[in-house]
């Protein structure tokens, strides 16, 4: 599977990593425990089985819209197959347009049953994951609000990349030019 992700600017990345550290230090699930060298704060826009030539073409076009500004709106918890603690992002028109463009690119050249319906425009909830676990209700801990640093109020989304879940490799999707 190949994800398509946005990376925050360096200042926002530092704040997210600090949140990861604080959660881990408190013994709570944290992305800091994910030891892969490719682990970094990101916003997943979509995922697909492979980056075909047509998908890649569209993604390099989409990358030309960067950088974008993003704004955190607070802490959010998701209870899906896994429990997720995240900082939610405002879905402003520019971010919504970029995510729709990415979704349409992957959907146009991927089997429909291979796509995550939670990435579909209208269902997609932009966020930066702070912690994830298979333990239901793990983020109901009342200490969490006091543990977390203030989220970055506004920050840049600067890089579009893809992560290959099979090989563990990253690819920056540069704008053509």
Q: Does residue 96 fall inside a structural domain?
A: yes
The residue among 26, 130, 113 whose CA lies nearest residue 77 is: 130
CATH number of the domain where residue 54 is located:
3.90.1140.10
Q: How does pLDDT run along the chain (177 residues), one tens digit per residue?
A: 999 999 999 999 999 999 999 999 999 999 999 878 788 999 999 999 999 999 999 999 999 999 999 999 999 999 877 899 999 999 999 999 999 999 999 999 999 999 999 999 999 999 999 999 988 888 887 888 899 999 998 999 999 999 999 999 999 999 876
Cα-only R_g, the chain: 16
The rounded distance, in Å, linking the Cα atoms of 45 and 16 is: 18
The answer to whether position 177 is within a domain reads no
Predicted pLDDT at 176: 75
CA distance 161 to 98: 13
Domain that holds residue 129: 2-172
Assigned domain for 7 exists? yes
Q: Is 129 domain-assigned?
A: yes
Burial class (CB in 10 A: 0-12, 13-18, 19+), 99: buried
Please list, in sequence order, all residues whose beta carbon lies within 8 angstroms of the beta carbon of residue 120, skipping any fewer than 6 positions away.
Answer: 103
The rounded distance, in Å, linking the Cα atoms of 112 and 132 is 26
Closest among 90, 107, 105, 2 to 44, alpha carbons compared: 2
CA dihedral sign, ordered 42, 48, 50, 52: negative
Handedness of CA 91, 92, 95, 97 (dihedral sign): positive
> Do 45 and 119 contact (CB within 8 A), yes or no?
yes
DSSP state of 34: -
| Cα dist from 7 to 90, 127, 136, 143, whole Å | 16, 11, 28, 28
**Distance from C-alpha of 107 to C-alpha of 122, rounded to nearest angstrom:** 15
Q: Which of 53, 39, 56 is nearest to 4 (CA)?
A: 56
Number of folded domains in the chain? 1
């Amino acid at each position: 599977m190949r994800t398509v992700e946005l990376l925050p600017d360096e200042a926002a990345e530092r704040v997210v990593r600090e949140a990861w550290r604080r959660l881990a230090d408190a013994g709570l699930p944290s992305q800091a425990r994910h030891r892969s060298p490719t682990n970094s704060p990101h916003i997943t826009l979509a995922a697909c089985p492979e980056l075909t030539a047509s998908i890649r073409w569209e993604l390099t076009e989409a990358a030309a819209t960067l950088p974008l500004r993003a704004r955190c709106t607070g802490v959010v918890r998701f209870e899906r197959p896994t429990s997720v603690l995240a900082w939610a992002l405002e879905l402003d028109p520019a971010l919504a347009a970029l995510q729709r463009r990415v979704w349409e690119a992957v959907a146009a050249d991927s089997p429909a049953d291979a796509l995550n319906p939670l990435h579909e425009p209208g269902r997609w909830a932009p966020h930066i994951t702070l912690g994830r676990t298979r333990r239901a209700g793990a983020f109901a801990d009342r200490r969490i609000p006091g543990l977390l640093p203030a989220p970055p109020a506004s920050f840049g989304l600067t890089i579009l990349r893809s992560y290959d879940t099979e090989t563990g490799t990253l690819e920056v999707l540069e704008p053509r030019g």
